[in-house]
Chain A
Amino acid sequence: MSALLQLSLSEVAKGLQAKEYKVEEVVSACLDRTVATEPKLNACISVLAEQALARARELDAAGPPCPAPSSGCGNAGSTPVVPVGEIAQSLWGVPIGLKDNISLKGSRQTCASRFMENFQPCYNAEVSDRLLAAGAVITAKHNLDEFAMGAGTENSAFGRTHNPWDLDRVPGGSSGGSAAAVAARQCYAALGSDTGGSIRQPAGFCGCVGLKPSYGRVSRYGVAAFGTSFDQVGPLTRTVEDCARLLAVIAGPDAKDATSARLDLFPDNLPGQDFVAQALIGASREPGELLKGLKIGLPVEFWESGVSAEVEAACRDILNKLEGFGAILLPVSLPHQKYALAAYQVMSTAEASTNLARFDGVRFGRRGIPSDSSAAFDDLQELYIASRSQGFGPEVQRRIVLGTYMLSSGCYETYYRKAAQVRRLLVQDFEKALGSAVAGASAASGTCDLLLAPTSAATACKQGALAGDPLMAYKMDLLTIGLNLVGLPGLALPVGLGRESKLPVSLQVMGRAFDEAAMLRLGAVIERLAPAVGEPGGVEAVCK
């Protein structure tokens, strides 16, 4: 494996800016690594080799951006096209992957569904535009559970993805392709989507850093909708600093997404936006200076939810270290957490059934064939039914039917409205624990600055372990769905390997709304205190 691939995103970006190596070298190293590992991992649905190399050559020809327009450019005589700021070109030349439910012009967007296997979007998702504007090179579209519905990347029309730590295990899901690719060094980072844990849980299973931003922090424009009031796009990376750099690029309001938050309208409550600076502070200052007096809440409902002994032990090691440096650990209670999974199932499937109504086989996607294949469809209804029944996999059909049921007359009050009430109660639980769920508001005494809990109760399970038991599969998200219901941010961090399984264990930092900066600062401290997970062994054993 090329030494370039051992670098973090932040390191390789720095080297590229300093012209220590060409973009083409870095992109080629990633593509070679992808070719070598894909037969074992199946992390990608589309590898964008040609486009990525063409863009790499363009970037090399133009030369790296200047730090400031006045300081003179590498291209003698030419005028800098745009004044480049810190963020403007922070990903210049860096290979990054996208989960295949995020649209990128010029490549198909399958959502891992047979229905969409040939769909070619005619526009970029807002996050794709922002990555490209920051100079990134998109190298692959990553595998996922069909329409992001699943916890193991086993529900894909393009085959399952394997965990690079142990090829017989799941990488988590639904952003399992992205997590596996980042862990196996196919790319330096990826963007995934998180509706109930789909960034954090696979990041945890693969030993990556994964961030679900606050609801409204990142535009959802151009991302195939699953649960509209739950979905957020976020980074999967190998370090906290990398995660901060990627968030800095994709965060911010977008007029094309009415739910993207206009934080500028609330200047009094505006929390720090300096993600990278805070991550660097966390990585460099004395831990004692940062941790002394920091109030960290431990939600008992999370810690007492059947967490495995090895996950508990690895997480407790970190808690002890944090306490040793002066952090104050406080048990807190989120009493409505016990209803969270049920409320999530009701509301997310209801939203999914509505969102997936547009897949009808008329305007795009795969049209079904009549049951008597020699005849034509009798009417439009039959076309809809055939297209949907043949195009969607079993898990997607299950969630559509469940969601339609939840919204049907007679069930709406019993389930949907009830779940929405529980959702508010859970928000109140988090507000009580965090003083205020809104960042910047003064916290009452006795409440916490941040919360910590395991990301998942156990390390990655064997493939097929959840087959035929969807309820068990849904429970994989038990510790992550709460934040999606309440819209708060969560950061999953590797904290070493489980002593029995030798697989990555992940700790989740939870914070106030739009206070990702504080989470990244603590995350960077934890990253220093935790044993490094190293490189995944499973894929190394077979892909020297």
Chain B
Amino acid sequence: MPISKESILRISRLARLDLEAGTKFGASENQVEAFVEQMQRIVGYIDILEEADTVGVEPLYSPLQLTAQSRPDVIVQEYTREEILRNAPEQADGFFVVPKVI
């Protein structure tokens, strides 16, 4: 299934990536074009899947055929708030700080 430049840019926004905004940080317009062209070739290759006869085949999403385990549902405190916040780019009063949302 061919994929257009417009859909690639739209999908990128859905993934919270702005390929064109990259141009403001050093990427050139050519790089966006190259990205689109590479994506089209990869999707073109993946289209080989169409040939596979999969009628009636149950999809397999994980190879783990032995039962996955569950653990007791008990609350444990493993880390402190300070430890978790230590990697935050911006924090105040024990909270993560983000731009105004509403």
Chain A residues proximal to chain B, CB less than 8 Å: 118-120, 122-123, 215-216, 228-229, 253, 255-256, 258-263, 265-266, 336, 338-339, 341-343, 345-347, 353, 357, 360-367, 371, 376-386, 388-390, 392, 394, 397-398, 400-405, 408, 411, 414-415, 417-425, 427, 438, 468-471, 474, 485-488, 513
What are 20 residue pairs bridging A and B, where the CB atoms are less than 8 Å apart in the complex?
A123-B78, A258-B68, A259-B64, A261-B66, A336-B52, A345-B45, A345-B46, A346-B49, A363-B84, A367-B90, A376-B99, A385-B13, A389-B22, A400-B17, A401-B11, A401-B12, A408-B14, A419-B49, A485-B63, A487-B62
Say whether, besides A363-B87, A402-B39, A389 and B17 are in contact (CB < 8 Å): yes
Partner of B17, one of A339, A364, A401, A469: A401
* A501 CA / B94 CA spacing, docked (Å): 58
Partner of A404, one of B15, B34, B47, B96: B15
* A379 CA / B99 CA spacing, docked (Å): 6
Q: Which residues of A contact B96 (CB under 8 A)?
A: 362-363
* A364 CA / B87 CA spacing, docked (Å): 5
Say whether, besides A342-B46, A398-B35, A424 and B60 are in contact (CB < 8 Å): yes
* A377 CA / B87 CA spacing, docked (Å): 20
Q: Which residues of A contact B98 (CB under 8 A)?
A: 362, 380, 383
* A469 CA / B68 CA spacing, docked (Å): 38
In contact, B65 and A438 (Cβ under 8 angstroms): yes
* A357 CA / B17 CA spacing, docked (Å): 11
B55-84 vs A: 1/0 string, CB under 8 Å? 001111111111111110000001100011
In contact, A418 and B52 (Cβ under 8 angstroms): yes
In contact, A389 and B15 (Cβ under 8 angstroms): no
Would you list which residues of chain B between 1 and 59 have a CB under 8 Å from chain A? 1, 3, 7-8, 11-19, 21-22, 24-25, 31, 34-35, 38-39, 41-43, 45-52, 54, 57-59
* A385 CA / B16 CA spacing, docked (Å): 5
Q: Give the residue name and chain of the A residue nearest to B97 (CB).
A: A362
| Distance to closest chain B CB from A483 (angstroms) | 9
Chain B residues proximal to chain A, CB less than 8 Å: 1, 3, 7-8, 11-19, 21-22, 24-25, 31, 34-35, 38-39, 41-43, 45-52, 54, 57-71, 78-79, 83-84, 86-90, 96, 98-101
* A122 CA / B78 CA spacing, docked (Å): 10
Q: Which residues of B contact A379 (CB under 8 A)?
A: 99-101
In contact, B1 and A414 (Cβ under 8 angstroms): yes
Partner of B86, one of A122, A346, A397, A487: A122
In contact, B89 and A421 (Cβ under 8 angstroms): no
* A415 CA / B71 CA spacing, docked (Å): 34
Q: Which residues of A contact B90 (CB under 8 A)?
A: 367
Q: Give the residue name and chain of the A residue nearest to B13 (CB).
A: A385
* A371 CA / B20 CA spacing, docked (Å): 11
* A261 CA / B86 CA spacing, docked (Å): 33
Say whether, besides A346-B46, A385-B16, A388-B16, A405 and B66 are in contact (CB < 8 Å): no
Q: Which residues of A contact B39 (CB under 8 A)?
A: 398, 401-402, 405
* A120 CA / B88 CA spacing, docked (Å): 10
Q: Give the residue name and chain of the A residue nearest to B7 (CB).
A: A405
| Distance to closest chain B CB from A395 (angstroms) | 10
In the complex, which of the residues B17, B35, B46, B79 has the most CB atoms of chain A within 10 Å of its own CB atom? B46
Q: Which residues of B contact A229 (CB under 8 A)?
A: 61-64
Q: Which residues of B contact A338 (CB under 8 A)?
A: 48
Q: Which residues of B contact A385 (CB under 8 A)?
A: 13, 16-18, 21
| Distance to closest chain A CB from B79 (angstroms) | 5
Q: Which residues of B contact A422 (CB under 8 A)?
A: 49, 52, 54
Q: Which residues of B contact A119 (CB under 8 A)?
A: 87
In contact, B63 and A400 (Cβ under 8 angstroms): no
Partner of A418, one of B24, B31, B49: B49
In the complex, which of the residues B22, B41, B89, B96 has the most CB atoms of chain A within 10 Å of its own CB atom? B89
| Distance to closest chain A CB from B71 (angstroms) | 4
In contact, B69 and A417 (Cβ under 8 angstroms): no
In contact, A339 and B52 (Cβ under 8 angstroms): yes
Partner of A405, one of B3, B50, B86, B89: B3
